[in-house]
Amino acid sequence: MQPVDLDPIGAKDQTSSPLDLFLIFVGANIVATTLQVGASLPPTFTALAAFGTIVVGVIGGSLLTGLLAPVGSRLRVPSIVATRAALGVSGAQALALLLFVTNFAWIALNNVIAASITATMTGVGTTTMWSVGLGLAATLIVLGGPRVAAIVDRVAVPVLLAAGAVFTIAVLRAPQVNWPAGPVPAGDIARGLDIVIGYQASWLLMFADYPRFVKSPRAAGWSVFLGLALTSLWFMPLGLVASMVAGSSDPGVMVSALGLGMWGALLVATAALTTNFVNIYMSALALKSLRPTLSGPTGVWLIGGIGAALGLFSMGWLEQFASFTLILASCLVPVGGLLLSHFLVLRVPTSVPDLYATPAGTRTWSTPGLVAWIAGVIVFHVSASIGGTLPSLMTTMGVYVVLMRRR
């Protein structure tokens, strides 16, 4: 099969091991932006509030994707196709467009952070050279398909773990942090939880893309959950403490303040590579669903090239990182609620051929899915002062279940 293909795969194609899937999510989540989540938490947090928010948010956000991963293993279709069951073809296309556009921001952000730090720490080349080089390397990995991605991760993840260990030791040896005395405003706790959960939810639309290549649904779910949760529980606190030591949330300043040198450069460069080939793969599948006639390799080159180019201009986006994460969360958390309701609560029987059976030229929306999605987005923003994630999730699930049962 093509490296980027929307067609369902056969049981004979489920050749990836749970370890391969785990490593893909580990490699995707050990990245500068995961550090950035910790660095973006409100400065009013006490140590207890900060670490408690990270633990609760990481587990809750990782569960969204982990609980849905078995669906990919059972249906053996990409995520963007599986969402047609709950949203209809047009709804899934709207979601694909959202994924396609927002992933450019992640790709560019990862490239520019890694390029800036690597060029500074190594003294080799320029930010432009590193940004383009990392973007092209990730693109070539995607062109090789899931098999090549798994091979690369088997080499890259141990490197990331070693570099992460050095980062951890540097943080432990850093000067003692003076935490605020508190009390922490309730609004800051709510915002912190939404940032953490929202970042974890940004992986939601990968719930079937790679898990479909794993035969065991149960193993796929655990691999995804642990891959996301363990890395975030490790790296978000590192980013939080490093930002307080450095007095800045800028990744370059944090790495310099900790004196990581070449290890810091190796960490962010490898991390940008492993996370961006996942981002490019998701975007390529989304583009394929929007433009089925576009060849897979063409889509991959288009996305990888634009992502590398945008990386040259995206350093200012770091200032809007938290706001971007919250906006994305308001769109994706309700989608998670929809899919959980459809596949796990209602257990609606899903025919894979029906997911591909929409006649050419027609557009179909699922009314329950659309209404529930809109309701969830609205509730997320309305309840932001008390934390939008849980109210949005419960509203979406409740509305969808009620409408589907009446239907």
First to last CA, the chain: 38
Residue with tokens 């369902």: 8
**Pairwise CA distance, residues 281 & 138, whole Å:** 10
Give a yes or no: residue 61 inside a domain.
yes
Asked if pLDDT for residue 2 goes beyond 70, the answer is: no
Short-list 246, 260, 319, CA closest to 118: 260
Residue 398: Cβ-neighbour burial (10 angstroms; 0-12, 13-18, 19+): middle
Identify the H or E element spanning 49. Answer: helix 47-75
> What are the distances in angstroms from CA 198 to CA 114, 128, 351, 356?
22, 30, 31, 30
Q: How confident is the model at residue 86 (pLDDT cuts 50, 70, 90)?
A: very high
Q: Is 129 part of a structural domain of the chain?
A: yes
- For 218-253, the pLDDT digits (tens) are 999 999 999 999 999 999 999 899 888 888 777 767
Region 17-30: mean pLDDT is: 88
pLDDT beyond 90 at 174:
no
pLDDT at 340: 95
Whether 344 is in a domain gets the answer: no
User: Is 348 inside a domain boundary?
Assistant: no
CATH code at 224?
1.10.4160.10
Asked, for residue 1, whether it belongs to a domain, the answer is no
Query: Taking residues 152-159, what's their average pLDDT?
Result: 79
pLDDT band for 404, please (50, 70, 90 cuts): very high
> Measured between alpha carbons, how far is 232 from 86 in angstroms, rounded to an integer?
29
Question: Each residue of 251-276: pLDDT tens digit?
Answer: 767 777 888 777 777 777 777 777 77
Residue type, 77: V
Q: Is the pLDDT confidence value at 32 over 80?
A: no
Confidence band of 391 (pLDDT split at 50, 70, 90): very high
The pLDDT score that the predictor gives to residue 343 is 95
Q: In whole angstroms, give the CA distance from residue 237 to residue 330.
A: 24
Q: Indicate the range of 31-40, 126-135, 372-381 predicted with least confidence.
A: 126-135
Collapsing DSSP to helix, strand or coil, 389 comes out as helix
Average pLDDT over residues 324-352: 90
Axis crossing angle, helix 262-290 with helix 32-39, rounded to the nearest 10: 100
pLDDT bin (cut points 50, 70, 90) of residue 36 is: confident
Structure tokens belonging to residue 147: 């098999």
For residues 246 and 88, give the distance between their C-alpha atoms in angstroms, rounded to a whole number. Answer: 48
331 CB-side CA count, 13 A: 18
How many structural domains does the chain have? Answer: 1
Domain that includes residue 231, residue range: 16-317
Q: Which residue has the higher pLDDT, 352 or 314?
A: 352
Question: Is 171 a member of any domain?
Answer: yes
Contact 308, 131 (CB under 8 A): yes
Using CA atoms, how far apart are residues 373 and 332, in angstroms rounded to an integer? 9
Highest mean pLDDT among 94-103, 333-342, 352-361: 333-342
In the chain, what's the furthest Cα-to-Cα distance? 64
CA angle 300, 336, 157 (to 5 degrees): 50
Residue 366 maps to a domain: no
Band the pLDDT of 386: cuts 50, 70, 90: confident
Token output for 171? 């943080």
**Is the pLDDT assigned to residue 1 strictly greater than 80?**
no
Residue 8 domain-assigned (yes or no): no
